[in-house]
Structure formats: structure tokens, C-alpha cells
């Protein structure tokens, strides 16, 4: 009976705090929606997140947190120690994309910038980072306004340059886990363009992929298009290579291990009747297993050289294969035990019917770096549904493709998405703070 009464008391206390948090969030939603609209209408590209980071820093300072700006570029770290307990880090990314928004929304971004090619391009939060930032602020308000409900250290990280794979690296290199705090857990969320708002999906284990960018320069001996026998045509060599690359996944890597090798760009030549001296290819590689990633790179180098040799090219004209190590993003591995806990917490917060188990995707996210340090910190990121529910249902029923992340037409149902994100993240953090 004693155990039953204690359990009942804990259940009542939990339900009471949940009701209190929900009522508080309802009051905060108008200001959070205004914050979202501000961030959405003022996106900043990677490495230029000056105003976005300042706004988040000001929000955290207003809550009484210890805030450090300029970490790893325009990163922000906010800390609050609330007695003895675990350190929980919650991360949001802050950068936008060079996309001209075409959603037709009255609050659409009209920001433009000039890119490296001196072209004027639009800037848009086409990957939901405005939702991520707003949810982080909303979660911070919930936790800081209810400090009696948890004990430990809250660590909030506003991370720049996620879209180019540089932000997490820079913040970790600057001592994120040594100068500030070493977290016991790291949590994150990411909007989903394939899930209705109000729902959440969690993938224990691998959630997102290794991502590598590779440049290949295929060389040759150019000449007149009318006399191909006097040349060694790099267009033909490059074409052979493109086809050969497809056999790496189908014939060299185990079919039980996911692998994607895509040639996204091929450029060579300048005129109909001129055989050029070189052709340039740009590739993206995707995998989960680090060994598969290494096999992809090694095999690409072997094939490129082998095909060039078979075409009769001398050693000095062998293809060059350049792997952009500075842009490399490791796969995101949701520590299974933590992911299960997070899933259970979110089910408590928004209902079991609104939480799904998701499958891994081949997109990349530098969030995975936080779990690949020497400290081996458990991490977990969940998908936050962002599609207006009625539009989602109608689109699925009609077999229509939904606007994807990075689409100029991606427009989240921001009021419901923000409410769900804050509720889910707050409950996840509270349960981790209070676990026995």
C-alpha cells in the first residue's frame, strides 16, 4: 500500500507540473511566435549569424543565465547551475540557406545577399532552423521559470554554420566540453517535412548519415573534335568513371550496409568541336558505418586511376581526387538507451499516438559530432513534425509530394510545431534531470 500511495503521489505531482507547464506555455506562445517570425524574416547565412546569435544571447540573459557569445564563430553558450544533478545540453542551429523563398506567406523572407560568384541570391530558413531556435528559447523559459522541478546544470548551445558542416567542429575545437561544461546528455530536435505538426518521430541508433563532398578532376589531352584519335578525351574518361562509380555500392560494399554515391555535377569543355583538357566532377557520399565511408573514398581513388591508365594517360595526368575533410560530417548515432528514454518522455508529454519510431535517413547533420568526442557523450535528436496536418492528409491521399527541407516552398505550421517542440524538449530534459 505504501508503494502504491507513493507512486500515486508522484503521478499526481507529475500531472500537476505538466498542467502548469502547459498553461505557462500557452501564455508564452504569442511571444514565441513573434520571435519565430522575426527569425524567419531575418535569416543569415552560415558564418554570418551575427544578429541571430545576439537575439538568442539576449533571450538567455533575460532569463538569468550565464551567457558566452562568439564561441566557434557566432556560437552562443548559456549555462545555469541549479543544484546537484546531471548536465544536460540542448542544441539548436542558427544559419539559413541561399534560397529565394517562394511560399507566398505574408511573412516570407525578402532578405537577399551577394554570393561568392557576385550573384544576388535570396536567403531563407528553408531547413527549419528558425523553429529550432524558437523551440530552444521556449524550452529555456519553461525550465528557468520552473527551477523547482529539476536539479542539475542546464546548458544551451546556439550553434552556427550547420549547413556547411563547420559549426559543431568549431565550437568543440574551442573547448565547448572543456571550457564550459561536459554534458551528461545532449539533446536536439529537427523539423520534418514528412511528418504532420503535432507529431514527433525518434530513431534509436543511426539517424542521419556520414556526408562527404568529393571533387574529381579528370585530365586528358585535348584537341580538335574532328580528330579525336589524336587526343585522349577526358569527357569519355569521365563518363566511364561516372558509370563505374555506381558499381561501388552495388558490387563492392555489402548490401547490408547502406551506401550512396551521387555525381551531382559534371563540367568539361567549352565548344562543340573542341575536346578539352579536363573535366570536373562533384560528388556527395553518404553512409552510416565509418568503414563504409573509408571504402567509398579508397575505391573512388582506385577506379579513377585505373580508368585513366586504361585510356593511356601518363602518370603526370592521373586524375586528382580531393575529399573536403573540412566539410566532413559524421553520421548521427542516437544512443539507443537515451533515445528510448526521450521517446517515453515525449509520449508522456504529447500522447503515445503522436510519437513514432522513424527510420534512418541519408541526410546529414553535424549534431552527430557531439557524440563522437573523446568523452563519448550520449546524444539523441528527434524529428519534429512541421507540416500543417490537413495539408499533410490531403497531400498523402492525393499522392502529392510534400515540399521538402531546403525547398523554396517549405512552410512549417509554426504555431503547432513550436508548441510541440517546446513541450517535447522540456519534458525530455525534466525527466533526464530527475531520473534516479
Catalytic residues: 95, 162
Grid coordinates of 247: 558499381
Cβ within 8 Å of residue 59, ≥6 positions away = 35, 137, 140
Cα–Cα dist 402/117, whole Å: 31
Q: Among 216, 212, 359, which residue's Cα sits nearest to residue 287?
A: 212
The C-alpha angle 137, 142, 147, rounded to 5 degrees, equals 125
End-to-end CA distance of the chain: 22
On whether the CB atoms of residues 177 and 171 are closer than 8 A, the answer is no
Using CA atoms of 133, 136, 142, 148 in order, give the dihedral in degrees to the nearest 10. Answer: -150
* Cα-to-chain-centroid distance, residue 390: 26
Q: What element of type H or E holds 260?
A: strand 259-268
Q: Among 229, 184, 78, 209, which residue's Cα sits nearest to residue 139?
A: 78
On whether the CB atoms of residues 382 and 345 are closer than 8 A, the answer is no
Q: Which residues pair with 382 in a beta bridge?
A: 189, 202
Q: Are strands 112-114 and 120-122 parallel, antiparallel or unpaired?
A: antiparallel
Distances (CA, A) of 162 to 54, 265, 329, 365, 419: 17, 22, 10, 7, 24
On whether the CB atoms of residues 331 and 368 are closer than 8 A, the answer is yes
DSSP letters, 21-85, are HHHHHHHHHHHHHHHHHHHHHS---TT--HHHHHHHHHHHHHTT-EEEEEETTTEEEEEEEESSS
Q: Is 328 helix (H, G, I), strand (E, B) or coil?
A: coil
Cα–Cα dist 63/58, whole Å: 9
Q: Is 272 helix (H, G, I), strand (E, B) or coil?
A: coil
Q: Which residues pair with 263 in a beta bridge?
A: 283
Q: Which residues pair with 281 in a beta bridge?
A: 216, 266
Cα–Cα dist 217/357, whole Å: 42
Amino acid at each position: 500500500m505504501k508503494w502504491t500511495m507513493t507512486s500515486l503521489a508522484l503521478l499526481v505531482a507529475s500531472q500537476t507540473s505538466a498542467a502548469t507547464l502547459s498553461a505557462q506555455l500557452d501564455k508564452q506562445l504569442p511571444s514565441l511566435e513573434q520571435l519565430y517570425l522575426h527569425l524567419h524574416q531575418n535569416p543569415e547565412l552560415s558564418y554570418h549569424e551575427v544578429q541571430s546569435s545576439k537575439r538568442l544571447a539576449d533571450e538567455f540573459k533575460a532569463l538569468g543565465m550565464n551567457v558566452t557569445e562568439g564561441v566557434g564563430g557566432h556560437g552562443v553558450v548559456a549555462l545555469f547551475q541549479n543544484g546537484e544533478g546531471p548536465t544536460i545540453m540542448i542544441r539548436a542551429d542558427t544559419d539559413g540557406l541561399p534560397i529565394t523563398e517562394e511560399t507566398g506567406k505574408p511573412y516570407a523572407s525578402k532578405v537577399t545577399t551577394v554570393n561568392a560568384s557576385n550573384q544576388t541570391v535570396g536567403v531563407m530558413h528553408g531547413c527549419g532552423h528558425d523553429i529550432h531556435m524558437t523551440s530552444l528559447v521556449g524550452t529555456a523559459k519553461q525550465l528557468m521559470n520552473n527551477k523547482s522541478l529539476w536539479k542539475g546544470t542546464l546548458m544551451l548551445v546556439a550553434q552556427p554554420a550547420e549547413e556547411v558542416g563547420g559549426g559543431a567542429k568549431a565550437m568543440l575545437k574551442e573547448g565547448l566540453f572543456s571550457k564550459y561544461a561536459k554534458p551528461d546528455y545532449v539533446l536536439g530536435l529537427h523539423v520534418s517535412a514528412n511528418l504532420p505538426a503535432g507529431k514527433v518521430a525518434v530513431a534509436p541508433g543511426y539517424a542521419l548519415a556520414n556526408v562527404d563532398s568529393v571533387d574529381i578532376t579528370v585530365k586528358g589531352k585535348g584537341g580538335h573534335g574532328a580528330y579525336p584519335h589524336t587526343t585522349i578525351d577526358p569527357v569519355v574518361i569521365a563518363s566511364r568513371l561516372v558509370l563505374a562509380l555506381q558499381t561501388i555500392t552495388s558490387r563492392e560494399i555489402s548490401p547490408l550496409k547502406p551506401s550512396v554515391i551521387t555525381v551531382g555535377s559534371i563540367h568539361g569543355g567549352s565548344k562543340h568541336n573542341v575536346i578539352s583538357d579536363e573535366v570536373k566532377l562533384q560528388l556527395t557520399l553518404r553512409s552510416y558505418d565509418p568503414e563504409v565511408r573509408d571504402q567509398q573514398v579508397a575505391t573512388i581513388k582506385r577506379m579513377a586511376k585505373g580508368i585513366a591508365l586504361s585510356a593511356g594517360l601518363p602518370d603526370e595526368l592521373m586524375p586528382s581526387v580531393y575529399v573536403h575533410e573540412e566539410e566532413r560530417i559524421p553520421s548521427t548515432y542516437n544512443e539507443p538507451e537515451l533515445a528510448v528514454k526521450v521517446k517515453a518522455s515525449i509520449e508522456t508529454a504529447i500522447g503515445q499516438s503522436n510519437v513514432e519510431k522513424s527510420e534512418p535517413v541519408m541526410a546529414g547533420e553535424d549534431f552527430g559530432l557531439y557524440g563522437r568526442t573523446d568523452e563519448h557523450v550520449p546524444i539523441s535528436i528527434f524529428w519534429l513534425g512541421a507540416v500543417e496536418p490537413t495539408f499533410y492528409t490531403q497531400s498523402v491521399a492525393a499522392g502529392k509530394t510534400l515540399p521538402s527541407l531546403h525547398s523554396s516552398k517549405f512552410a512549417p505550421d509554426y504555431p503547432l510545431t513550436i508548441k510541440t517542440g517546446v513541450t517535447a524538449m522540456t519534458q525530455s530534459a525534466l525527466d533526464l534531470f530527475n531520473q534516479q
